[in-house]
């Protein structure tokens, strides 16, 4: 007996010399292995809920809506099944339905009745988006209304700014964007979201808003917006595909992450209140770096292609919709997003309302 203990002590002294850290963790000194069992905190839903590091809820989500001219329109977007074009007279009803589900923030995109090279319907006070802002705010004063500020839905060439020859002219675009943002604020938007990726646009918009007396209107800047293949379905929805060329001359190269930090830093210096990374799922590393570097309120746009991929796989029976959606959104939040713009928002809200838990 005594000899057995001696042997055990001897053995444990040997192993301490060999690998002290491992020994204390694995519990070889006591003879029980393993001492640490990670599975203890995974045994029941209650304990998993208690120790979960990242929580996702409806307060994190922003839902995009597309407003079109006309009346009585609720038309499904072919490339975005489950998403619709709404006419102004229907959009406030839809906003009320969303509010009942618990959605508290909307991001509005507008499709104008007519397009021209300048995109002048973008700052027209009676265009669909401006009318939709007024209709939603009248019906639901507490609904946070954010507006997309860009020209690509409004220009006949589909680029995000004013063209000089075949080039998008950065500096000539800035006053047009500023004018658009002021028009949205005048209609009652709580926040404007420039998505064009022109240099200096956040500063130009901030100055224009302040001069027009809209000092409280916030700016959510699409700071790191990549030239991504995942916007494909959106271009159908917004009718904004460029008629020639692409957007690589102003949107970011997918290979760059340090450059995203510079973009965010510039937007912060120009007065952005929230910064954004777009798309979300292929750029989770960028989200994490932005959040860690600047500690800014950080948004992620879970874009149309990310939505379409899950929808298509679900339709084929390859993925379980609820758990796949939840896991993707949770992953975006865990990577550093405080806010997530997502087409899934109403579905998630409905699932939660019927008592579903991931
Ligand atoms: Zn654009």
Assigned token pair, 300: 């992620």
Integer Cα distance of 79 and 228 in angstroms: 16
Which residues are CB-neighbours of 160 under 8 A, at least 6 positions away? 150, 151, 152, 168, 173, 195, 196, 197, 198, 247, 250
> Is 57-353 a CATH 3.40.50.300 domain?
no
Number of Cβ within a 10 Å radius of residue 290: 28
Does residue 27 carry a pLDDT above 70?
Answer: no
Q: Could you tell me the distance, in angstroms and rounded to a whole number, from the CA of residue 10 to the centre of ligand 1?
A: 72
Q: Could you tell me the distance, in angstroms and rounded to a whole number, from the CA of residue 195 to the centre of ligand 1?
A: 6
Total residue length of the chain: 358
Choice among 115, 137, 225, 333 that is catalytic: 225
Q: Could you tell me the distance, in angstroms and rounded to a whole number, from the CA of residue 197 to the centre of ligand 1?
A: 8
DSSP 215-273: TT-EEEEEEEEB--GGGHHHHHHHT---SSS-STTTSBPTT-SHHHHHHHHHHHHTT-S
Q: Could you tell me the distance, in angstroms and rounded to a whole number, from the CA of residue 89 to the centre of ligand 1?
A: 25
Q: Could you tell me the distance, in angstroms and rounded to a whole number, from the CA of residue 154 to the centre of ligand 1?
A: 9
Picking from 49-63, 155-169, 327-341, which range would have the lowest pLDDT averaged per residue?
A: 155-169
Instruction: Give residue limits of the domains in the chain.
Output: 57-353
Kindly report, residue by residue over 30-75, the tens digit of the pLDDT. Answer: 667 889 999 999 999 999 999 999 999 999 999 999 999 999 999 9
Kindly report, residue by residue over 91-147, the tens digit of the pLDDT. Answer: 999 999 999 999 999 999 999 999 999 999 999 999 999 999 999 999 999 999 999
Q: What is the pLDDT of residue 97?
A: 97
Number of Cβ within a 10 Å radius of residue 247: 20
Choice among 115, 137, 278, 333 that is catalytic: 278
Picking from 8-12, 72-76, 199-203, 301-305, which range would have the lowest pLDDT averaged per residue?
A: 8-12
Number of Cβ within a 10 Å radius of residue 65: 21
Number of Cβ within a 10 Å radius of residue 249: 13
Integer Cα distance of 90 and 72 in angstroms: 6
**Is 278 part of the annotated catalytic residue set?**
yes
Contact 192, 138 (CB under 8 A): no
> What b/e sequence results for 291-301 when a residue is b if at least 16 CB atoms lie within 10 Å of its CB, and e otherwise?
beebebbbbbb
């Amino acid at each position: 007996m005594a000899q057995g203990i001696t042997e055990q002590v001897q053995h444990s002294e040997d192993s301490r010399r060999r690998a002290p850290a491992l020994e204390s963790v694995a519990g070889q000194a006591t003879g029980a292995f393993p001492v640490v069992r990670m599975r203890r905190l995974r045994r029941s839903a209650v304990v998993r809920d208690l120790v979960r590091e990242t929580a996702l809820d409806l307060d994190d989500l922003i839902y995009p809506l597309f407003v079109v001219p006309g009346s009585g329109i609720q038309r499904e977007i072919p490339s975005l099944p489950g998403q619709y074009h709404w006419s102004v007279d229907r959009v406030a009803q839809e906003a009320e339905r969303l509010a009942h589900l618990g959605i508290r923030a909307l991001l509005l995109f507008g499709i104008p009745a007519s397009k021209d090279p300048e995109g002048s319907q973008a700052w027209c006070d009676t265009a669909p988006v401006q009318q939709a802002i007024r209709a939603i705010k009248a019906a639901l004063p507490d609904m946070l209304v954010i507006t997309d500020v860009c020209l690509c839905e409004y220009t006949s060439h589909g680029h995000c700014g004013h063209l000089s020859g075949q080039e998008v002219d950065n500096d000539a675009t800035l006053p047009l964007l500023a004018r658009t943002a002021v028009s949205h604020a005048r209609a009652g938007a709580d926040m404007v979201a420039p998505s064009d990726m022109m240099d200096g646009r956040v500063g130009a918009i901030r100055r224009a808003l302040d001069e027009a007396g809209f000092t409280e209107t916030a700016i959510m800047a699409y700071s790191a917006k990549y030239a991504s293949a995942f916007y494909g379905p959106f271009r159908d929805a917004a009718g904004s595909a460029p008629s020639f060329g692409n957007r690589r001359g102003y949107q970011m190269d997918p290979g760059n992450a340090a450059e995203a930090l510079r973009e965010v830093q510039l937007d912060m210096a120009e007065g952005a209140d929230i910064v954004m990374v777009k798309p979300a799922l292929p750029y989770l590393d960028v989200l994490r770096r932005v959040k860690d570097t600047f500690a800014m309120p950080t948004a992620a746009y879970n874009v149309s292609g990310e939505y379409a991929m899950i929808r298509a796989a679900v339709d084929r029976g390859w993925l379980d919709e609820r758990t796949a959606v939840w896991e993707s959104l949770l992953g975006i939040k865990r990577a550093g997003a405080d806010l997530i713009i997502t087409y899934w928002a109403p579905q998630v809200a409905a699932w939660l309302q019927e008592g579903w838990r991931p």
